Structure 1
Amino acid sequence: MIETLNAELAGFVELHGEGRVLEIRMVKPKVNAICRRLSRSIEQAALFLQESGDYQLGILTSAHDRAFSAGMDFNESVSSDGDGGVGAIKGGFGGITRLWDLKKPLIAAINAPAIGGGMELALACDLIVMAEHAYFQLPELQRGLLPDGGGLQRLPRRIPYNVATAMIWTGERMTAAEAMSWGLVHRTAPAEELRALAFSIAHKMALDAPLAQQAFKEVLRNIDGMPDRDAMEIRGDSGPEYQAFARMLASDDMLEGQRAFLERRPPKWTGA
């Protein structure tokens, strides 16, 4: 199946499976500038991850040393219609910035500068690791734009508000070390060790119960911005937006995890 999909996505995205982990590698020459085709290729890869029974989580990265992604492809956007013309059908700009249906976790492995929309792709992921030489940048105001693919929405919720907004006001770079110090990035590594780091973390996450992972991501997304008192009232029967939570609570896996702990053995997850 990966071979068939790789043929469809050729020139934009390559997929590589390793155990329960699906690597989604952006390969658009030369800097993964985000156009309609790249957005829809990333979306297609993410939806494949979501529907696949073989893969539990994904890693989004770049095949290029020059950039993780340099952001919007202005060659396409300046001649497009009013929506910018660079969005995917469900996932919006970059294919995942609005892909609310994606329940499986994504790790962003930032192997090179992530600029503009490239940083917004990273912010759409659940965990970020970064090469020590890489950096983030949101220069949209200097281009006559807003970073409205997640930069202005997500970044001020991840790091101190004044730090996030100053980054947007000035367009200044944030180094990997700075991103680590603000808690935006989980771990950093030399460039040649980043892929191994990302897969090490991914394989560790693949030991988790798949349904619990999906419920965790679903609940985190839905309680974002809620007062603590309201968030503490959320249960699996709190509404249709908590389907993964409800499924987890009714699953054999939930009981299996507890039995395995008591019996001092690794759990055997079935996803049911």
Structure 2
Amino acid sequence: MKLLTYLHSGKENAGVLSKDGTSVFPFCSFGLPYNDMNSFIRDSGMSRLNELSQALESKTDGGVPFSEIKLLAPIPQPAQDVICLGVNFLAHAQESARYKKEVFEQDRAAAVYFSKRVDRAVATGDEIDGHFDIVDSLDYEAELAVVIGRDARDVSEQDVFSYILGYTVMNDVSARNLQTRHKQWYFGKSLDGFAPMGPWIVTEEEFDRPPVLSVQSRVNGEVRQNSTTGLFITSIESAVSELSQGMTLKAGTIISMGTPAGVGMGFDPPKFLKPGDVVECEVEKIGTLRNTIQ
């Protein structure tokens, strides 16, 4: 089941994509009083998924033609910073160390977590502001993002998937010069427009546990990243369980699971983004996030 946020007749709304992908049913057409994804997840979320899925099977009225809507990011304004995993693929960890001229830590024991501030998530089809007045090394990172569906605290690895609403695609856009200059990642990852997300959330029951999915990025049609979530260093189960120890992951929390090798800084010379470039980030069984650099 695909949950999405969209614009129709000048009004922002949230709902479910029909099985055949030709129409969108707002949550209100199922008798649910929500017109935004944050409210749906916070107040209802996982407890209504089975009901929604069953109702969708026979749903024929109350829909809006997909051709008449504009897709927005599934959660346009996350309630909290996005939690990100750094260097969660071995090959990306190696290319990152080369670029920064650091010693590669072969036996890193613990996950690297950082946060990404999101003013408003960028939808597929929209432009990414490159902030080229302060950025000279704009980069892309295709990632699988996990959306938590109910408050999670002290969750065991065995129970993690019962807390996951679903998955979406994220491009962890990064300003490498800011990231390197400040010796941490928050500023260089958090400029306005640096969180493209979408095209929708695909609910967790559509996937194996854990999901092993191809992750790919393309720039102007050239494949740059091509890997699989089966190569995560820190698994979804481990990350969610560990983060929930002593810290409550509120419903609606987004955890972006890290990017594979092939980012711009990994090439010699680097292949950073420039105005007019078209970046596509694709995760198997979810979809493609396509944006143009402004």
Please report the TM-score for the alignment, with normalisation by the length of structure 1. Answer: 0.29
Please report the TM-score for the alignment, with normalisation by the length of structure 2. Answer: 0.27
Specify which structure has the bigger relative contact order, considering alpha-carbon pairs within 8 angstroms and separated by 6 or more residues: 2
